[in-house]
Chains A and B, each alone.
Chain A
Amino acid sequence: MLSHQLPNAAPPQTVSHGATLRSLRFQEALTAYVFLVPVFVGYALFVAGPLLFSLGLSLFEWDILRPPEFVGTANFERLLGDNTVHRSFQNTLVFVVCLVGLNAIIALALVALMQRPMWTALSYFYRSVYFLPVITSTASIAIVWAFLFHFELGIINYYLGRLGIEPVRWLQSSQWALWSIVIASVWKSVGFDFVIFLAGVQNIPRHLYEAAAIDGANGWQQFWKITLPMLTPTVFFAVVVGTIWALQVFDQPYIMTQGGPGDASRTVVLKLYEESFRALRFGYGSAIALALFAVIMVVTAVQFRSSGRWVHYQ
């Protein structure tokens, strides 16, 4: 029943067609902005604001207790000559390449295995098991892995000894400290790539596999020629997101090695934490943070630029 059919209802107002459309569009736009406001406010308060503050702070020397002192580009000049910072960037980039690469390879291998016929319950079980470390706190995982890697008491060296292999100074040697962190991090994060690759595989049209089977393609050929190319958008996403996360690694080196021995496992975020919150050089810490931000931007831009060559959306 329409309003004009109701007794004592106000007669419908007549407005021009153009004015009605403009009003409707305005209302729709306003509604959209209302929904976006929380995101904008959160972004301004927790991302853009601190970023701008950090940008400004990088031009000052500030120990929190006394007023900041303007030093211009001195922090950036120091950064350019600081060998520990250079080593931190080098360690971080090695960590990123190893972690992202290993995560992608292991996750793809797991997805290939999951394509075999199996009980549905078993399939769900595997997904849960591999995803469990992803949702476990990084700090807890780092503490446990530090015990596993212990030279005298760790269970890894114990079983290596049973196999006749010399025990490894996982956390106490420059050669192995970073690798120890990579291993613990791969264990923690491979489940994320696995789950999203698995979801990506569900979206590959089945008829492609049927056609390939008719043409005589075996399992490996189907994986290499169909699954992998069709999965490249998902792999691209995992690589980009994984790289951004990995460049900001902190928990594992902080808990497992404190960046040592020497600077062997010191990462950029650990270094900027030490400069800011231990040495009370917030200006210099901000300069390091901005350098990291620039590196992340460049790496992500390069990834997007190169994606045209290997990412197939159809």
Chain B
Amino acid sequence: MMPYRFTSRRMSRRFLLSGAALAASSLALQACVAATPTAAPTAVPAKPADKPSDKPVTAPAAAGPAQPATRALVRIAIGGQNPNSGQLELAKTFMEKKPNVSVEYQGYQSTDHGDFYGKVLTTLASGQQIDCIGVCTEGTFLWAGKDVLIPLDDYVKRDRQVLQEYFDDVSPNLIRPMYYQGKLYELPWGYNSQTIYYNKKMWAEAGLKRNEKWTQNDFLDAVTKLNKGTGTEATAGRVFGWSTGRSNRFWGISIPWMFANSSDLLAPDWKTSTANDPKNVEAMQFMQDLIHKHKVALGPGAIDEQNFFGSGKLAMFGSGRHGLRAVLNTGFKKDDFDIIYWPGWKQQRHQFGTCGWSNMKQAKDHDLIWEFNRHSITKESVTSINHHQQGTSTPARRSVAHDPKLHEDGPENFKVYYNSLDFAEGSDAIPAPAEFADIERIWLKYQGLILANETTAKEGLDNTHKEFAEVLKNAKGGKLAYGSKLPGISS
């Protein structure tokens, strides 16, 4: 293209630079065109990588007879950069059953559920194929409401006999939040309910005795006795009785107290707001007083409360089994800590969130994804994915959750995790309607203000109720109330 006539044997500098610019432009254009990643159907030994990777991770191929030339591909979106060994094991065992199937995980490094769902949605919008996504309570109604999942009722009906053993092994409370508008969208493999971790030595020194049916007043008495020092600076010897939460978040900070006080932010069907219920005001006032009046609690902030607990500066904090690994990583052993039920107030109901594998509407082979869904809830799979080496949740199956082998590192009273579901009437999932993103945003705003003592509990909840009402004005609700039958499952 260069309209130069060589008048000497040497290439001119101008020609050289022009050529380089052309070459760079071509390369840049090529890179833009080739941006779409392609799946890798061939099996690659997949281990959790040391460095982050954008490429999907293909689980190791199953040993067995020679693979056919073409393999069906199942792409699964998961939170976290890389699949953990439990998820890899799940894929491996599935591929052993189905030699003509390749399972691929696409990891999304995320800060929370909302962040994860946002990233997956962006991937879907770009045209990438995702067949299955691990969805927890925070996203079930969102995804089902947006009509991107298929209901599983027909599959459950067809395979009822095989699944009966599963339904007998799982608390109906865990399955109920997986229904949206009367249709079932997931079968849970794991969950977390908010319990209380406590330092055994500090309890003994404070003269506290374990009482499963302890009350909110017993709790206040306990944190007051456990608290050492006044003021708020972290000086030597200062021990906080309680931590409100490691950050201002929706799960596990104020909702458990509202539940215990026989209330909730939303009505049982998640269609209307009950935020300014006087019982909620009472619950938030209690939390505000713990921090600012009694001065026995850490406010929500940028601390890792498990590490604080492990270093002996915090006597108690609330968490599900997802807090266990961090506590053990601080060096705590089974004899150093234990868990107990959330205190009762007007009730002793517990708050939880549950997770399952979905069946995406855009999946090419729904039957195959259902096979994966079913495989993920077998006793072996639930054991594997909740194995204590990387367990961040409680197994949805009671038999697995109560297996002592899963809790060799503690806590001693590990059965509290599962029994919290049925310990008292009313234990239920966190309120997570299809409008969860807005509900969470609004509540975090006012929860933060209340706990920072910048607004009264009443004013904060009145404002919350006003904004909730605006967001929910066209809400469809669709949550099954506690205790109601499970359509297609309960006889």
Does B441 contact A66, Cβ atoms closer than 8 Å?
no
Chain B contacts of A260 at CB under 8 A?
Answer: 248, 444-445, 448-449
Interface secondary structure of B, over-half rule: helix
Residues of A within 8 A of B (CB): 3, 23, 26-27, 30-31, 34-35, 37-38, 41-42, 45, 63-66, 143, 146-147, 149-153, 157-158, 161, 167, 169, 171-174, 256, 258-263, 274, 277-280
Does A262 contact B21, Cβ atoms closer than 8 Å?
no
Q: Can you sample 26 A-B contacts with CB below 8 Å? A: A27-B3, A31-B14, A35-B17, A35-B18, A37-B25, A38-B28, A63-B146, A64-B121, A64-B122, A65-B147, A150-B302, A152-B233, A153-B234, A153-B303, A157-B232, A167-B233, A172-B299, A258-B444, A260-B248, A262-B445, A262-B448, A262-B455, A263-B445, A278-B437, A279-B438, A279-B441
Q: Distance (Å) between the CB of A271 and the closest chain B CB?
A: 10
Select from chain A the residue with minimum beta-carbon distance to B233.
Answer: A161
Chain B contacts of A161 at CB under 8 A?
Answer: 233
Q: Count chain A CB atoms within 10 A of each CB in B17, B233, B300, B303 and give the residue with the most.
A: B233
Q: Distance (Å) between the CB of B458 and the closest chain A CB?
A: 16
Give bound CA distance, A52 to B29, whole Å.
20
Chain A contacts of B32 at CB under 8 A?
Answer: 45
Given A27-B4, A260-B248, A261-B454; A151-B148 close (CB under 8 Å): no
> Which of B21, B28, B449 is the one whose CB lies under 8 Å from A261?
B449
Give bound CA distance, A219 to B21, whole Å.
50
User: Is B44 in the interface zone, CB < 8 Å from A?
Assistant: no
Give bound CA distance, A162 to B440, whole Å.
39
Q: Distance (Å) between the CB of A5 and the closest chain B CB?
A: 12
Give bound CA distance, A27 to B299, whole Å.
70
Does B22 contact A34, Cβ atoms closer than 8 Å?
yes
Does B121 contact A150, Cβ atoms closer than 8 Å?
no
Does B232 contact A274, Cβ atoms closer than 8 Å?
no
Counting residue pairs across A and B whose Cβ atoms lie within 8 Å, the total is: 122
Q: Distance (Å) between the CB of B135 and the closest chain A CB?
A: 14
Select from chain A the residue with minimum beta-carbon distance to B243.
Answer: A152
Does A277 contact B122, Cβ atoms closer than 8 Å?
yes
Q: Count chain A CB atoms within 10 A of each CB in B298, B444, B452 and give the residue with the most.
A: B452
Q: Which residues between 6 and 62 of chain B lie within 8 Å of chain A, taking CB atoms?
A: 7-8, 14, 17-18, 21-22, 24-25, 28-29, 32
Q: Distance (Å) between the CB of B217 and the closest chain A CB?
A: 25
Given A41-B25, A65-B124; A152-B437 close (CB under 8 Å): no
User: Is B125 in the interface zone, CB < 8 Å from A?
Assistant: yes
Q: Distance (Å) between the CB of A119 and the closest chain B CB?
A: 40
User: Is B301 in the interface zone, CB < 8 Å from A?
Assistant: yes
- Mark contacts of B232-271 with chain A using CB atoms, 8 A cut-off: 1 yes-contact digit, 0 otherwise: 1110000010000000100000000000000000000000
Number of chain B residues whose Cβ lies closer than 8 Å to a Cβ of chain A: 48
Give bound CA distance, A141 to B448, whole Å.
23
Given A3-B7, A34-B18, A174-B454; A279-B437 close (CB under 8 Å): yes
Select from chain A the residue with minimum beta-carbon distance to B438.
Answer: A279
Give bound CA distance, A274 to B14, whole Å.
50
Does B18 contact A31, Cβ atoms closer than 8 Å?
yes
Chain B contacts of A171 at CB under 8 A?
Answer: 301-302
Q: Which residues between 285 and 308 of chain B lie within 8 Å of chain A, taking CB atoms?
A: 298-303
Does B118 contact A150, Cβ atoms closer than 8 Å?
no
Give bound CA distance, A99 to B248, whole Å.
26
> Which of A153, A167, A278 is the one whose CB lies under 8 Å from B118?
A278
Chain B contacts of A23 at CB under 8 A?
Answer: 3
Select from chain B the residue with minimum beta-carbon distance to A28.
Answer: B14
> Which of A65, A152, A277, A278 is the one whose CB lies under 8 Å from B234?
A152
Select from chain A the residue with minimum beta-carbon distance to B27.
Answer: A38
- Minimum-distance CB pairs A-B, first 4: A261-B448, A277-B118, A260-B448, A146-B302
User: Is B185 in the interface zone, CB < 8 Å from A?
Assistant: no
> Which of A34, A157, A258, A277 is the one whose CB lies under 8 Å from B248?
A258
Chain A contacts of B189 at CB under 8 A?
Answer: none
Does B437 contact A280, Cβ atoms closer than 8 Å?
yes
Chain B contacts of A146 at CB under 8 A?
Answer: 302
Select from chain B the residue with minimum beta-carbon distance to A173.
Answer: B452
Chain A contacts of B449 at CB under 8 A?
Answer: 174, 260-262
Does B437 contact A38, Cβ atoms closer than 8 Å?
no
Does A157 contact B302, Cβ atoms closer than 8 Å?
no
Does B454 contact A280, Cβ atoms closer than 8 Å?
no
Give bound CA distance, A77 to B240, whole Å.
49
Select from chain B the residue with minimum beta-carbon distance to A24.
Answer: B3
Select from chain A the residue with minimum beta-carbon distance to B6.
Answer: A3
User: Is B404 in the interface zone, CB < 8 Å from A?
Assistant: no
Select from chain A the residue with minimum beta-carbon distance to B299.
Answer: A172
Chain A contacts of B444 at CB under 8 A?
Answer: 258, 260
Chain B contacts of A37 at CB under 8 A?
Answer: 21-22, 25
Given A27-B4, A38-B25, A64-B121; A169-B303 close (CB under 8 Å): no
